Homo-oligomer: A and B are copies of this chain.
Amino acid sequence: MSEKTEKLIRPGEIEFADTETIRQMQEHKLAEMLSFINKYSPFYKAKFKELNIDIRNISIDNLKELPFTTKDDLAKFNEQFLCTDKSKVADYITTSGTTSEPVTFYLTSNDLNRIAYNEAVSLQCADGSSNDIFQIMITIDKLFMAGMAYFLGIQKLNAAAIRVGPGTPNAQWEYIHRFKPSTLIAIPSFIPKLIEYALENKIDYKNTSVKKIICLGEPVRQPDFSFNELGKRITSQWDVKLYSTYASTEMSAAFTECGKGNGGHSHPELLILEVVDDNGNKVREGELGEVVVTTLGVEGMPLLRYRTGDLCHVYYSKCSCGRNTTRLGPVMGRKQQMIKYKGTTLFPQTIFNVLDMLPQIKLYQVEVKRDEFNNDSVTVYIDIHLKTSPFIQELLSLFKSKIRVTPLLEFISEDELNSRVHKTDKRKTEKIIYL
C-alpha cells in the first residue's frame, strides 16, 4: 500500500474525505482483495477460472462483471472460502442461521483487529469516545461475532466495557447504578422489558447515567428516519438517544448511525457497498434495493459481491455530520421474507410495527404459511390473557388502518408462546417463522 493511502485511512478520517479520494482508496484495496482471493481462495480461484475473468481488468466501475456470491454458495462450499491455513485461525464464528444453515466464519488475528477497528470507528461515528462506558447487553459467548467485536472495539477506542451479557434486568440495573455507563449496547426490544422491570421495582430509571443506546439486530426507524413503533415506545418513556445499526457476520462490519440519525454510515475502508435492484443494477438516491458487499482487508474469509438478501434504502449524498460515506436506511426485510398476503406485499417489520404499538402485547410470534397459489397466510400468536373481544377488535382495526389487511389471531398460553419464541437451540428469538 502506498504511503499516501495509508496516511488517509487513519481512524475515521477517510470518512470525511472527498468522493474521489475515497474512490481511489477503495480502488487500491479492491485490487489487493481481488489478487488475494485469486491466489488463496479455492472458491474464487475456481470461479474466476471457470468464468474466464482476468481480475486485472476489474475496477469499481465494472465490478458488475464479477459474479455475485450467495448465501447458498457460503452454505454449500463453506470451507472453500477459507483463504488461510487452518492453523492461522484465531476465533471460530458461526452465523445464527436465521435464513439458512449456520455458516462457519474463520477469523485470523488480523480479522479480529479489523472487527475491532470497525467497531471503534462505528462507535466513534455514534458520538462515542474514550470517555464512554459501554454496558454490553448481548453475549460474547456462543461463537457470536457482535459481542466480541463490540468488546474489542471499545478497547480500541480506549473506552470501558461492562460485559453483562443478555437478559437479567435486575443485574443490568445493578451494574448501571454501580458503574454508571453512558451507553447501552442492546437488542432494542429488550429495552421496554428493562423499563418495565424498573417500573415494577421502583427503580428511578429516568435519572441514571445512561444517555445513549446502540441498537442492534432490529430496526428502530422507518425509511424516513422517524422512529418506528419500537423506537417510539422507547424514546417516549426514556430520554435516551438511539443509534441504529445494521451489520452481519458475513460482511464483518457495521453500518452505524451518527448523531444525525440519517441512516447507518458505511466505512469505505472496510467494504465496497452496492445496493441493487432485481436486475443487479445500482438503485438511485433514496431508493430501496438489496445490499451487496465486497469485504476489504479480510484475511480468513473475504467475500466478493455478497448478496445479503437484506433490503434497505440507500443514500449516497453527504451527511450533515460531514461524513461523505454511503448510508443505509433500516432493513425493510429480507428478499425471501417478503410476504404476499391478500393482495398486499408486506415485510415482517411492518407487521411487527403494528404489534409493537400495543403495550399490552409483550411477546408475539408471526407465522407465515405459503399456500398452493404461492400466496401467504399470516397468523399472529399472542398471549391467551389478551383474548377479550375489545382487545381483538382494537388489534384488528389497527391492522386494517395501518396495513390494510388483518392476520389470523391465535391465542396461546404464555409458556407456549415463550417456548415458541425463545427456542433453546436458537441464538436469536424467533419473532417470525416461515412454514
- Residues on A close to B: CB < 8 A? 87, 89-92, 104, 109, 112, 130-131, 133, 136, 139-144, 147-148, 151, 154-155, 158-166, 168, 170-171, 175, 178-179, 424-425
Contact = CB atoms under 8 A, between A and B. Distances in A.
A141 B154 CA distance: 15
Contacts of A87: 130-131
A142 B164 contact: yes
A165 B142 contact: yes
A130 to B, nearest CB: 7
A141 B163 contact: yes
Contact of A92 (B130, B143, B162, B166): B162
Nearest to A139: B141
Given A87-B131, A91-B161, A92-B161, A143 B109 contact: no
B425 A160 contact: no
Q: In the complex, which of the residues A139, A147, A160, A178 has the most CB atoms of chain B within 10 Å of its own CB atom?
A: A160
23 contacts: A87-B130, A87-B131, A90-B154, A90-B155, A90-B158, A90-B159, A90-B160, A90-B161, A91-B155, A104-B178, A109-B158, A140-B141, A140-B147, A140-B148, A140-B163, A141-B147, A141-B163, A141-B165, A142-B163, A142-B164, A143-B163, A144-B163, A168-B424
Contacts of A168: 424
Contacts of A131: 87
Copy tally for this chain in the complex stands at: 2
Contacts of A139: 141, 165
Contacts of A163: 91-92, 140-144, 148
B104 A155 contact: no
Ranked 9 nearest A-B pairs via Cβ: A141-B165, A140-B140, A89-B160, A92-B162, A92-B179, A91-B161, A141-B163, A139-B141, A142-B165
B143 A175 contact: yes
Contacts of A112: 155
Nearest to A106: B160
Given A104-B178, A112-B155, A142-B164, 7 more contacts: A91-B155, A91-B163, A92-B133, A92-B163, A136-B141, A141-B166, A168-B424
A90 B179 CA distance: 12
A143 B160 contact: no
A314 to B, nearest CB: 34
B155 A141 contact: no
A92 B164 CA distance: 10
Given A87-B130, A87-B131, A425-B170, A162 B178 contact: no
Nearest to A130: B87
A141 to B, nearest CB: 3
A420 to B, nearest CB: 19
A90 B154 CA distance: 8
Nearest to A143: B163
A312 to B, nearest CB: 29
Contacts of A133: 89, 92
A425 B167 CA distance: 12
Q: In the complex, which of the residues A136, A163, A425 has the most CB atoms of chain B within 10 Å of its own CB atom?
A: A163
A252 B92 CA distance: 26
A133 B89 CA distance: 9
Given A87-B130, A130-B87, A178-B104, A143 B155 contact: no
Contacts of A90: 154-155, 158-161
A170 B131 CA distance: 41
A170 B175 CA distance: 32
